[in-house]
Structure 1
């Protein structure tokens, strides 16, 4: 979950090698951009890391973190999420959104009926899918046709879900 000042941009997926290198999973559009947002902090804000990318590795990027010199230290960080200051991230065009900004938004249909709230966004390669939690869970393609309106100011998404097959 993001707070107003930070966005999760990656996670440490484990150790790589024996000298403290970590396998990094980047959540940025261009995975290598994760190193350009300044020092990243852990979710609790207690640790900060200046990321130095080393090479592409299976399942992500190899990276060095200051103070992480052994495989054991790197492995102990597995699962740690990395957060960037929101103001370090680029401004997006009007028709693009950070996933963190969509989580929790109210979702209504074109008639104004509340369907629930955005619980998650998934990307399985063919485009983003919104998971809407309400009386029933909906999975909706995040396309202009299905999602004609995203209003971050009023924290609402208007959707025109495809007709259900009965």
Structure 2
């Protein structure tokens, strides 16, 4: 398996379920049962993580069998394993829609067209989505709320987005 394509986090092993070797996988998809349709779920390095062979949705998870797991102990040993799929397994979004992962790597430009950096990741710490920006000149990353005010224009096909830094994020005045 090559890792040329972006990998999308879709779930995480929560551990064994019951005593017959079933595994519980917390789903990060809108519908938990979608995990069953992806076939092989990958590790972050692109190698095989789990192959779900059947299961059922339970709240925000799937409980089922995996080809790689025969016992509860084997399932428990994988607790915490993050599971991914290649980006190209997802359907193309409708016009004027996008996946948050498609923002990663885009240039962040200010209203004058100056490249401030690039989107390193999209995080959500419990409130709203935040763009982690890696500065073009190097140094520590900074976060920008992913709101219409802070990111008024997206040009995903052209590889950039317009950002307006809130005053709190702007340059500090020298003391």
TM-score class normalised by the smaller sequence: 0.7 to 0.9
Q: Match for 1:141 among 131, 140, 145?
A: 145
Q: What SS class does the counterpart of residue 122 from structure 1 fall into? A: strand
Please, what is the CA RMSD of the aligned residues? Answer: 2.9
In structure 2, what is the Cα distance between the partners aligned to 1:13 and 1:116? Answer: 36
CA contact (8 A) 2:35 2:62 kept: no
Is 1:97 the counterpart of 2:101 in the alignment?
no
Q: How many residues are matched?
A: 164
Answer with 115-124 or 39-48: which moved more.
Answer: 39-48
TM-score, structure 1 normalization: 0.76
Is 1:116 the counterpart of 2:117 in the alignment?
yes
Matches within 5 A, 1:10-159: 10-43=11-44, 44-46=46-48, 49-56=51-58, 60-134=61-135, 135-159=139-163
In structure 2, the partner of 1:163 is 167
Q: What SS class does the counterpart of residue 35 from structure 1 fall into? A: helix
Answer with 5-14 or 129-138: which moved more.
Answer: 5-14
Bigger Cα Rg = 2
- Runs of 5+ consecutive residues of structure 2 not aligned to the other structure: none
In structure 2, what is the Cα distance between the partners aligned to 1:42 and 1:156? Answer: 29
Q: What SS class does the counterpart of residue 154 from structure 2 fall into? A: strand
TM-score, structure 2 normalization: 0.73
* Residue 117 to residue 15, structure 1, CA distance change in 2 (3 Å): farther
In structure 1, what is the Cα distance between the partners aligned to 2:57 and 2:8? Answer: 24
- Runs of 5+ consecutive residues of structure 1 not aligned to the other structure: none
In structure 2, what is the Cα distance between the partners aligned to 1:95 and 1:35? Answer: 28
Q: CA deviation at 1:74?
A: 0.8
